[in-house]
Structure 1
């Protein structure tokens, strides 16, 4: 029997409450989310000793961590150089919250909002959670009043399916994703030593020492970014053998796919310890692969924190700095359009 439940997660300092929602499928697999940031907090199958998703155990950890743990990020997921771009011939200055650049929507981003939740089920009887939030015109410099929505379904095949939608009343730039962190051996294992990765892309976005694109797409062939076959990266993370990896502190790069709206596998990860495989599918043209370079010290409970390289992210979405790169896929959202994207995280046991 499937179910979806709600319980109090904690109370913010201003008195507002944060709720946790747990989806359960017919196998007994659970996926939990909180309405603060519409964040994915856990994923656990029967037999798993701990969650395969990194979340927070306390309200203080949730509200003080800066790693975007499981959060729905926007209005623009990824970086924009100098927080500047031009829209319809008019210059726009966005909030700069990563040095001189804009990251994941700015300081007052979707991560720090309490989303309105609706509980239901699909025609197949799968539990469904729908979050929505409003972002006002001018927030963090973005034009237009925007309503954003994300629907989340847990299937009996252990797929967590996301559908993102948004509308605006003025032309704006927009791109959402989920910033979930995975460790397929369990969230507290602290390293990726027993993981292998596969990313089928032929190219990745070249970036400078501030993670802003140079405008060049680099073939993965004969580079450390060739993950087209199953590849372990633990030794690479320990040694950071190239300048590109040293600049980023590990992997934090966008792999490029066709911008054709087709749902396809963008990347997969495999635990060589327990045989769990997670496949990431999306209709988006980019996959930001992040190896938890700055995860160390991120709190999950009182006095407890995650470790550097203790998890990975596969974030489908727009390419970084797309508003300033003429050859990159467009991120323009108009009033007569509805933003739509899909992400599926599928878990299987080999």
Structure 2
């Protein structure tokens, strides 16, 4: 089989703008599917007759209506900022409030809601490559600075989906880019995380309050339900939610802490005893938000079918939530003298 990339029209918005789907295929027949709406990852299959391991939508109406950030590129700041407010360059920045009283994932018109420009290519005739780009104007959602963002996506022959994020700005600002893909290694319609085990290579996590904001305390995972340093199933933790931390969040929705060394390293993995599939997530970023699909229930993927709560999981590398308001968290600010750059990889075996 030949590696390649295809482009098809998924539908048209009311204002005439075209929503497209892009399918990257490697020589082994694995295929990763994306859309320019939200620069979103909406499918991954090993072969044509196998179910997707990444959740997406079957209709344009469902894709537009969903509010679960299915596969979307998150920005300008992935995750939460308390009160939508932070200090920068001697002043105070006030962002849009879209999770009252806080700001999440870049606001109501964050990167997940934008129609991205796109360019497709084959690198060295073997690597199907898709590049999304977007210009975010000064003042968008309250963020300072004009920011130009590029997301370069490749599908390798060994079934790695690689995201390279780069950005430039014209004044001091903050940036935290990530991807919100939902995975189920038993297939996107499996409906639960049964037969899944997880491993997260972090000895510490961020303590959070009842509104899922960091308290600022960095806690050892040892002797907590968040100790996933060894392979462990989590389905029993989710039904019922007996642990206080999980009960507050509706399940797993916690940031795990890694070294801020800009080195590409494995952060986490998941495996299914039902299918034998494994997913490994690596990144240069210092945090990993592990999310067990707590509020996925009711998200329609076509006219009358819905995903189930805890029916998928997310590995979201990034800077730590509310980082601009905690001086001891890794620094997510950058300016006109430096470019933003980060890598996230998802490897399927």
Secondary structure of the structure 1 residue equivalent to 2:58: coil
Q: Within 2, Cα distance between the matches of 1:259 and 1:338?
A: 17
Segment drifting more, 283-292 vs 122-131: 122-131
**Which residue of 2 is the match for residue 329 of structure 1?**
330
Q: Within 2, Cα distance between the matches of 1:220 and 1:307?
A: 28
Q: Are positions 1:180 and 2:184 aligned together?
A: no
Q: Within 2, Cα distance between the matches of 1:124 and 1:341?
A: 25
**Which residue of 1 is the match for residue 206 of structure 2?**
205
Could you tell me whether the CA contact under 8 Å between 2:200 and 2:269 is conserved in 1? yes
Secondary structure of the structure 1 residue equivalent to 2:148: strand
Deviation at 1:123, TM superposition (A): 2.8
1:302-341 matches, cutoff 5 A = 302-341=303-342
99 and 80 in structure 1: CA distance in 2 versus 1, 3 angstrom threshold: same
Q: Are positions 1:122 and 2:128 aligned together?
A: no
**Which residue of 2 is the match for residue 145 of structure 1?**
146
CA RMSD for the aligned pairs? Answer: 0.9
**Which residue of 2 is the match for residue 20 of structure 1?**
21
Cα deviation code 1:186-224 (max 9, x no counterpart): 000100011000001000000100111100011000000
**Which residue of 1 is the match for residue 345 of structure 2?**
344
For normalisation by structure 2, the TM-score amounts to: 0.99
Aligned length: 348
Q: Are positions 1:10 and 2:32 aligned together?
A: no
221 and 109 in structure 1: CA distance in 2 versus 1, 3 angstrom threshold: same
1:1-350 matches, cutoff 5 A = 1-46=2-47, 49-123=50-124, 125-348=126-349
Q: Within 2, Cα distance between the matches of 1:192 and 1:292?
A: 10
Q: Within 2, Cα distance between the matches of 1:257 and 1:162?
A: 19
124 and 7 in structure 1: CA distance in 2 versus 1, 3 angstrom threshold: closer
Q: Within 2, Cα distance between the matches of 1:300 and 1:259?
A: 37
Deviation at 1:140, TM superposition (A): 0.4
Secondary structure of the structure 2 residue equivalent to 1:337: coil
Deviation at 1:46, TM superposition (A): 2.1
Segment drifting more, 40-49 vs 304-313: 40-49
Q: Within 2, Cα distance between the matches of 1:16 and 1:200?
A: 43
Secondary structure of the structure 2 residue equivalent to 1:305: coil
**Structure 2 unmatched runs, 5+:** none
Q: Within 1, Cα distance between the matches of 2:38 and 2:49?
A: 26
Deviation at 1:67, TM superposition (A): 0.4
Could you tell me whether the CA contact under 8 Å between 2:237 and 2:243 is conserved in 1? no
Deviation at 1:241, TM superposition (A): 1.6
Q: Within 2, Cα distance between the matches of 1:190 and 1:155?
A: 29
Deviation at 1:121, TM superposition (A): 1.7
Deviation at 1:53, TM superposition (A): 0.1
Q: Within 1, Cα distance between the matches of 2:154 and 2:30?
A: 12
